[in-house]
A and B are shown apart, each in its own frame.
Chain A
């Protein structure tokens, strides 16, 4: 049984880490970008961002003033049990979100869409979002918080099989061009592409591709992995860099996730996880051990399964 107090205190420290500490994989990616960048202005921007990450850690202050919209992804092993059940879990995550908003402090970004009511704590109707995933084995719970920023950089389009790869490329480029200008997408970013699923799941896949996979990871389908390499390169060949200035670095990495869709369509979404790619993860074990990390490791073979049943032997064989 995982104690509920431990869940809340761990969630609070994750809120703090996500807002303040740039994940190492993104930092490595940006440092590499800074080395290759030769545009005057875009080089200056990347250098300033690298200094900013240091300042955030030194001062323990949020790396960006727009601290995004905090949300939670919860992954549980099949044998995990939470003290007080799932209702207690959700209450703990809402409390942690509210407490950290005041504590770090974060910007209270969440408001009612019509009445603009602000509770000053990032909690409200449907906020923070809490999404769930499960794994066949284990008594642990993974708490993953993502504070994705940006009103720009994400888009959805219903493509069709006849649009093909060239159509996918075009919509990808369109998204980068539209939101890259003036740096509205706060690039260089981790670009996530969702292909397939229903409309809503297509958006979910793309968002998860950008926020729940780390820089340098590749899809387990080798052909999709090749597309990821190609799309990263394509995005960086536009000639646009940070803030939309002339430059070589627009895409720190490109991650693609797919889901089965309607036979007549090929829905596609594009998402940009920005220069403040805020994510933090902890696994809490049944015995109370807590291990922090920055890789959500969301897309396991189980999450990408395409068969009717999940055979335990299949897992043992991998």
Chain B
């Protein structure tokens, strides 16, 4: 249907495999992937808690996600749908997290800025994979072969806990950054920007202004 390239990728990818990825490639992941968002970052980085996994040997894939899941009374897990949460909010912790864990694949919603990619993704040999939609929760849920562990559930709760997922061709994901530090979303923004003046033609700024307001529609709010 489309000219998009499909790629199978390990969650402990080689540098060569990462270098080969192009913006807009469709990726399916196999191997262990862990979820980590603000709760995990704060506990591991600000609270200095020991990370309960061997990283990056077990997994170099950090999913900005909290699943729709259940922990049963017998300690087993039921995983329903899985989708990502918006990643730009985690820029504060990611450089230190990457340095500490060797994460090569940051998987989430909406990507980061090209500034983030150039400053600490590329030097760490890492790329960003975006979920699709958003979100293809049921399709991604199918790609979870097993829940291997849930760490820090007591401390952080189901939504913020560190879920360790065994993925089997889990996807689709879209490659949103590359080893040049280029950003797929910014590339698309630039194409759309050409049309903005025409769409806004005839409209006028609001009578009452707001602090920090920009009239440049090629700007982003993140």
A interface residues (Cβ-Cβ under 8 A, vs B): 19, 40-41, 43-45, 47-49, 51-53, 55-56, 59, 61-67, 102, 104-109, 111, 116, 118, 120, 151-152, 157-160, 162-163, 166-167, 169-171, 173-174, 177-179, 181-184, 186, 234, 237-240, 242-246, 274-276
A-B contact count (CB 8 A): 214
Report whether B158 and A162 are in contact in the complex, using a CB–CB cutoff of 8 Å. Answer: no
Q: List 29 A-B contacts (CB under 8 A).
A: A40-B4, A41-B2, A43-B1, A48-B133, A55-B139, A56-B138, A61-B68, A61-B80, A65-B66, A65-B82, A66-B68, A106-B80, A157-B206, A158-B208, A162-B207, A163-B206, A163-B207, A173-B200, A177-B217, A178-B220, A178-B221, A181-B189, A181-B220, A184-B109, A234-B199, A238-B192, A238-B196, A239-B199, A275-B135
Q: How far, in Å, is B86 (CB) from chain A's closest CB?
A: 6
> Quick one: closest B residue to A59, CB to CB?
B138
User: How far is it, in angstroms, between the C-alpha of A276 and the C-alpha of B199 when the chains are bound?
Assistant: 27
> Known contacts being A173-B200, A181-B189, A237-B199, is A56 close to B81, with CB within 8 Å?
yes
Question: B102 at the A/B interface (Cβ < 8 Å)?
Answer: no
Q: How far, in Å, is A232 (CB) from chain B's closest CB?
A: 14
Question: B24 at the A/B interface (Cβ < 8 Å)?
Answer: yes
Report whether B157 and A118 are in contact in the complex, using a CB–CB cutoff of 8 Å. Answer: yes
Chain B residues, CB < 8 A from A245: 188
Q: How far, in Å, is A47 (CB) from chain B's closest CB?
A: 7
Chain B residues, CB < 8 A from A274: 134
> Known contacts being A44-B4, A67-B81, A238-B199, is A243 close to B132, with CB within 8 Å?
yes
> Known contacts being A41-B24, A56-B81, A65-B67, is A169 close to B203, with CB within 8 Å?
yes
Report whether B159 and A109 are in contact in the complex, using a CB–CB cutoff of 8 Å. Answer: yes
User: How far is it, in angstroms, between the C-alpha of A107 and the C-alpha of B85 when the chains are bound?
Assistant: 12
Question: B169 at the A/B interface (Cβ < 8 Å)?
Answer: no
Report whether B158 and A184 are in contact in the complex, using a CB–CB cutoff of 8 Å. Answer: no
> Known contacts being A65-B65, A65-B66, A238-B196, is A163 close to B138, with CB within 8 Å?
no
Chain A residues, CB < 8 A from B133: 45, 48-49, 52, 64, 183, 186, 242-243, 275
Q: How far, in Å, is B88 (CB) from chain A's closest CB?
A: 8
Q: Mark B18-46, 1 if CB is under 8 A from A, else 0.
A: 00000010100000000000000000000
List CB contacts (< 8 Å) of B124-158 with chain A: 130, 132-142, 157-158
> Quick one: closest A residue to B67, CB to CB?
A65
Chain B residues, CB < 8 A from A55: 138-139, 141-142
User: How far is it, in angstroms, between the C-alpha of A239 and the C-alpha of B190 when the chains are bound?
Assistant: 11
B interface residues (Cβ-Cβ under 8 A, vs A): 1-4, 24, 26, 65-70, 78, 80-86, 109-111, 130, 132-142, 157-160, 172, 174, 185, 188-189, 191-192, 194-196, 199-200, 202-208, 210, 217, 220-222
User: How far is it, in angstroms, between the C-alpha of A120 and the C-alpha of B68 when the chains are bound?
Assistant: 11
> Known contacts being A49-B133, A107-B159, is A239 close to B82, with CB within 8 Å?
no
Chain B residues, CB < 8 A from A111: 157, 159
Report whether B132 and A45 are in contact in the complex, using a CB–CB cutoff of 8 Å. Answer: yes
Sample of 15 more A-B contacts, CB < 8 Å, known A62-B141, A63-B81, A160-B208 = A41-B24, A48-B172, A61-B81, A65-B66, A108-B157, A159-B208, A162-B207, A169-B203, A181-B221, A182-B110, A183-B134, A184-B222, A243-B130, A246-B192, A275-B134
Chain A residues, CB < 8 A from B1: 43-44, 47
Chain A residues, CB < 8 A from B85: 66
Chain A residues, CB < 8 A from B69: 105, 107
Within 8 Å by CB of A184, from B78, B110, B137, B172, lies: B110
> Known contacts being A40-B4, A65-B137, A107-B66, is A160 close to B207, with CB within 8 Å?
yes
User: How far is it, in angstroms, between the C-alpha of A89 and the C-alpha of B180 when the chains are bound?
Assistant: 58
Within 8 Å by CB of A65, from B81, B188, B199, lies: B81
User: How far is it, in angstroms, between the C-alpha of A158 and the C-alpha of B209 when the chains are bound?
Assistant: 10
Q: List the 8 closest pairs (A to B, CB-CB), nearest first.
A: A65-B83, A170-B203, A56-B138, A118-B157, A62-B81, A64-B137, A105-B70, A55-B138
User: How far is it, in angstroms, between the C-alpha of A300 and the C-alpha of B31 when the chains are bound?
Assistant: 53
Within 8 Å by CB of A62, from B4, B138, B191, B194, lies: B138
> Known contacts being A181-B189, A240-B192, is A167 close to B135, with CB within 8 Å?
no
Within 8 Å by CB of A64, from B135, B194, B217, lies: B135
User: How far is it, in angstroms, between the C-alpha of A242 and the C-alpha of B185 when the chains are bound?
Assistant: 11
> Quick one: closest B residue to A180, CB to CB?
B192
User: How far is it, in angstroms, between the C-alpha of A184 and the C-alpha of B78 when the chains are bound?
Assistant: 28
> Quick one: closest A residue to B80, CB to CB?
A61
User: How far is it, in angstroms, between the C-alpha of A156 and the C-alpha of B110 when the chains are bound?
Assistant: 23
Chain A residues, CB < 8 A from B208: 158-160
User: How far is it, in angstroms, between the C-alpha of A244 and the C-alpha of B176 when the chains are bound?
Assistant: 12
